[in-house]
Amino acid sequence: MMNAIANGVAPKETLEDAIEELQLVSFQLGPEEYAIDILGVQEIIRMVEITHVPNAPHYVEGVVNLRGKVIPIINLRTHLGLPMAEYTKDTRIIVVEVGRLILGFIVDSVEEVMRLSQDLIEPPSSSGRGGAELYHRGVGRVDGRLLILLDLKLLFGLGAIC
């Protein structure tokens, strides 16, 4: 590595540097901004017609056919205990892969793809009442605003939607 610097060649990013920074997709649910790790995101689509499924859990809106695959669609507002809202032109479905399960969840709008340093993330606080802290991995500080980082494995664990 010393030779690379001496020869004017910048060293490649080390594994430690890569771990220090997360790449996230941020989205809105009401007034709050949330984010998930981009590695779990397959795609982001506009709202489509959802086929309702009888006897599904209250937060499952139904299913959609996405390029030949039938995937469940979760109403993230309902799943997190937030009040319902009308869908708008900005409403999106974020399609994610959690383990071997592919599903989509509805958000008010998708904001941006960003990088966030680990040192800007505070660990989740526990209210002791079984609230949203069960689903998030921390709160990030970005340009004077707070960003709730959701953990897809906790949020959409196989036991959560069966």
pTM for the full predicted model: 0.79
The H-or-E segment that residue 43 falls in is: strand 41-46
Task: Supply the pLDDT for residue 49.
Answer: 94
**What residues of the chain score a pLDDT lower than 50?**
1-12, 15, 128-130, 159-162
Both tokens of residue 57?
Answer: 């859990």
28 part of a folded domain: yes
Task: Supply the pLDDT for residue 127.
Answer: 54
The radius of gyration of the chain's CA atoms, rounded to the nearest angstrom, is 18
16 part of a folded domain: no
- Number of domains present in the structure of the chain: 1
39 part of a folded domain: yes
63 part of a folded domain: yes
Both tokens of residue 96?
Answer: 């994610």
Please say whether the beta carbons of 116 and 137 come within 8 A: no
13 part of a folded domain: no
Both tokens of residue 117?
Answer: 């340093």
Q: What is the CATH number of the domain that holds 114?
A: 2.40.50.180
Q: What share of the chain is helix, strand, coil (3-state, %, to 5)?
A: 20, 45, 35
Task: Supply the pLDDT for residue 72.
Answer: 96
1 part of a folded domain: no
52 part of a folded domain: yes
Both tokens of residue 157?
Answer: 């664990």
Task: Supply the pLDDT for residue 161.
Answer: 47
Q: What does the alpha-carbon distance between residue 21 and residue 19 come to, in Å, rounded to a whole number? A: 5
Domain that holds residue 148: 22-161
